[in-house]
Structure formats: C-alpha cells, structure tokens
Amino acid sequence: MPKKYHIHPRPARLDLEYMFKFDITRGENCINCGKCTRVCIYEAHKRRQDDPRRMADPNTVVCRNCFRCIQECPRGALEKSLDPVFAAAGGDFWKPDMLISLWKQAEDGKVPVSGAGYRGPFTGTGFDGMWTDMSEIVRPTRDGIHGREYISTAVDLGRRLNHLVFDAGGRLVSRVPDTVSIPIPMLFEVPDGGLAPNVRQALVKAAAEVGTGVIVPAADITGDLEEVAGSLIPRVAPGEIERYRGVIGKARLVAIEHSDALMTDWPQLRLEIGKIGRALPIVRVPAAKDVEDTVARLAHSGAEIIHIVADYCGRETGGPGGPGPQPHLPSERRTLKDIIRAVHLRLVEDRIRDELTIIASGGIAMAEHVPKAMLCGADLVAVDIPLMIAVGATLCQKPEKQLVYPEGLDGIPVPTLAQRMVNLTAAWHSQILEVMGAMGIREARRLRGESGRAIFFEEVDRDTFGRLFLPGGSDSKGEAVSR
C-alpha cells in the first residue's frame, strides 16, 4: 500500500485587512462596564491598552456572529450592521460568504465549522442543484479517512489503453502511453489579468509542495521559476511551440490553446512537441455551445488530455474565438455541470471515454465542486480564483468582473503567500476525503462519471412534477397527459 498522501497546513496570517460580514459599533452610551469582554469567547471586545478604564473599538475580524454581546450589554450600546464592502462583493455566483470562507480556510487549513449544520441550497443552478450520495456516512466505524482504510485522491493524466495485446510468447505488444500522475485531482492555474511576481512565485511554490502542476502563460515563466520547472505547465498557442521550446522541454505537461486549424494539424503538432521533450500536451477548449463536438473530434484526432474552460462563473463561453458573451440569453447558457455531462456522454457514445483525460475549470469555487465535477464526468479540475482569494483578493461580479488585490500584497513574503495556498488546498483535500468516505469510494479515479451516486434536482423535479407543469401537459418522456 502506498504511503498516505498528506498536505501539511500551518497557520499563515496576513497583516492585511479583509472584508467581514457585520460591522460592530460601540455607541456613546457605553459605560465601559466591560461585560462584553466577559461574555465574548472570541475576544472581539477588549479594553484599551493606553487607558484600561475605557473600551477599545470592537474587533470585527474575530467575531463569529453569536450576538451575545449585543444581548448582554446593559445599555444597548453595541450595534451590528451589514458591512458595505461585504454587501458589494461577489455576485449571483461568487457569494460574499463564499469569499470569507475561502479566506478563513487559507489561514490554517481547517474547515470552518459554524455549528448550524448544512443550510442549503438544495436547489439552484449548476452544482447547487446536485447532491452527492452520503449513504456510507452512517457506518458504525468511520475509520476510512483517519484510520486503517486507505483513500487515494491520485489521478492520472494521459491516454489509457482500453485493452492489451500480447504475442504468442505472452510478451506485451501494446505500447503503453506515457502518463503523469498527481496526488490530488486539482491543477492550479494563473487567472487572466496577470499577477504580481511574488504571487506568481507563491502559486508555483504551492503547486510544487502539494505535488500538482500550475498552468502558466509561457511568456510569464521567468528564471526565478526554474527550480520548480517540473510543476510548471506552460500555456502556449500552436504557433509558439518553437519559441518556447526551452520551457516545454523541462515540463511534464504543456497546455495548447485550441484553434480551428488544430483539428487537422494535431498529429504534426504532437510530433513537434515530442521532439522537444516528454511533455504531454493538454488542449484547452473554450466551453462553447458545441464543445462536445469539438472534444469528440479532437479525441478522434489523437488528443490525449482535453481541458474544458468555462467562464469564471462556470457557464458557457463565446466559442473558440474567446470567452466573449454568448449570442443567447444568460439564462440559457449551460453550466459547467451540464457541459461536463454532455461531453462525457458524447465520448461514452463514441466508445472512447476511457482513452483520454478531461480537465474542467471555470466556476470551481468550493471544495465540494471538485468531486461533483468528477461525478459529472471530469477526471480532475483546474482552480484559479480561490487561490487568489486565499491571499486576500476580493471578487466583484457587477457591473463587470473585477478581481481586486489588497494594497500591500506585493510586499508579503513568498513563503507566507504559498503557505496560505497550501492551507486552502489542505482544507479542500480534507473535504474531498470526507465526501469520498461518506460515499464509500476509496479511489478518486472511481468518481469519474459515477452520476448514479448523485441526485440532480432538475431530474427529480422533472420526474416528480413534469406531468403537471411541462408545457403542453407532457411528462418527462414527452407523452401527453390526460386532464
């Protein structure tokens, strides 16, 4: 049995302010009795150091919203209100609570526990309308994660044989393709817009520590990243192979941007990469409306690893030309969940699903999205924005996407930033193990395409109420319903 994979989180706090949900204010009618200091177990209230007779301003950062100080104040001098920065952050997909949760996980690598249980949502778009099978969580002995049983989160990237051929003497004739194994079903990726040098170095350093790879534009790969070249996945256009042959030659994987010409030029391009080194090529395909057709054609052309790239909210993009707006309404744009399922089922129909690796990205915002994406049919995911939130970035969706980095981030040491990314990965890894353990799945490779181990709200809703509410009075199979 291989040694258990473990990520080592360590406390890594940033001396940078982050948003908080509520703002606590102390009114002029405060009598400095200090009762709030005694009832608050989180030490949000303290006396001033320069004058212990008076109360200091409340420390909202450590507040856990128990409201006990509000209730216990004899003069009603404390008041809580929604922080305006919190109210303006995020949007319909990236909720402000989600940003705070990611920030806290990055501090120490622990999964935040609210004590209130899971409060939804059980319906919604994308992964919110998907529930995973947790039947094994009722076992008398839950030792699968922390005890004797071994749960592997490792995945392989590359082409796999669907059968082996032996000669008359019993010798293997089939050529076994090269593959790259990583211990977690997650790649890192540099988000669009570029990064400060120390943040980029931290991202690559964190990827190396947890044993995964990071997709970086080849133009951004500088000499200070040479020591972790094995963790770099250069991202290039088809015509830039020769220009960046130096970094490609040292890499295990290389990401190629999709183009229409790639369909016919792929065999020659694959041969060109093979002459430079042993890097396995990944084809990055925008999650356009016809992405399943594109993926199928690439697979039949010999592509081994295909990366489906949705927009930052996990929705369809504008097509092969770029991530622009779709010509159809936003409400009609498929989510990443549906995109992955469509691609997976198309490859199953073509009887080639087991021959290639599918990476999914865009809208991977929470730990639960990783196993859910794999249940839909992906082999692994790529993560970008959550890693930026780990180092203090905030995200606003309206009026347009804006990833805001905190002032002073460029002065934070690389090891501190890298540790926060490692901590976030550790928290996600723990949650993935919990989901797998609760499902009774001992190997991440078995998650792929196991949609029968999940419940999809829209399918339940259609099967339950479709006979009554579908247009024309038809049931889920299109049969007329008598009234």
Question: For residues 237 and 255, what is the distance between their CA atoms, to the nearest angstrom?
Answer: 8
* 412: in domain: yes
Higher-confidence residue of 221 and 467: namely 221
Tell me: do 390 and 465 sit in the same domain. no
Domain containing residue 30: 22-82
Handedness of CA 258, 261, 266, 272 (dihedral sign): negative
Tell me: do 372 and 477 sit in the same domain. no
Tell me: do 192 and 168 sit in the same domain. yes
Question: For residues 257 and 309, what is the distance between their CA atoms, to the nearest angstrom?
Answer: 11
Mean pLDDT (the chain) is 85
State residue 388 phi and psi, 5-degree precision: -75, -35
* 147: in domain: no
Quote the pTM value: 0.85
* 87: in domain: no
With a CB cutoff of 8 Å and minimum separation 6, the contacts of 210 are 7, 183, 184, 422, 425, 426
* 404: in domain: yes
Structure tokens at 215: 């997709």
Tell me: do 469 and 356 sit in the same domain. no
* 98: in domain: no
Model pLDDT, residue 116: 45
Structure tokens at 17: 């302010």
Model pLDDT, residue 217: 93
* 8: in domain: no
The 10s digit of each residue's pLDDT in 345-373 is 999 999 999 889 999 999 999 999 999 99
Structure tokens at 63: 């507040």
Measured in residues, the chain has a length of: 483
* 234: in domain: yes
Give the model's confidence band at 159: pLDDT under 50 very low, under 70 low, under 90 confident, else very high.
confident
Tell me: do 415 and 463 sit in the same domain. no
* 3: in domain: no
CATH assignment of the domain containing 45: 3.30.70.20
Among the candidates 56, 82, 108, a domain finishes at 82
Tell me: do 458 and 408 sit in the same domain. no
Please, what's the b/e burial string for 154-176 (b: 16 or more CB within 10 A of its CB; e: otherwise)? ebebbbeeeeeeeeeeeeeeeee
Among the candidates 67, 82, 97, a domain finishes at 82
Tell me: do 396 and 463 sit in the same domain. no
Give the model's confidence band at 467: pLDDT under 50 very low, under 70 low, under 90 confident, else very high.
low
Residue carrying structure tokens 């093979």: 274
Tell me: do 329 and 355 sit in the same domain. yes
Tell me: do 200 and 261 sit in the same domain. yes
Is residue 281 classed as helix, strand or coil in its secondary structure?
strand
* Burial class (CB within 10 angstroms; exposed 0-12, middle 13-18, buried 19+) of 407: exposed
- Cβ(82)–Cβ(22) under 8 Å? yes
Mean per-residue pLDDT, 298-309: 93
CATH assignment of the domain containing 271: 3.20.20.70
Tell me: do 162 and 265 sit in the same domain. yes
Tell me: do 50 and 66 sit in the same domain. yes
Nearest Cα residue to 136 out of 114, 151, 122, 153: 151
* Burial class (CB within 10 angstroms; exposed 0-12, middle 13-18, buried 19+) of 448: buried
Model pLDDT, residue 160: 76
Total domains in the chain come to: 3
Tell me: do 388 and 279 sit in the same domain. yes
Among the candidates 82, 97, 114, a domain finishes at 82
Residue 148 has pLDDT above 90, yes or no: no
- Percent of the chain at pLDDT above 70? 87
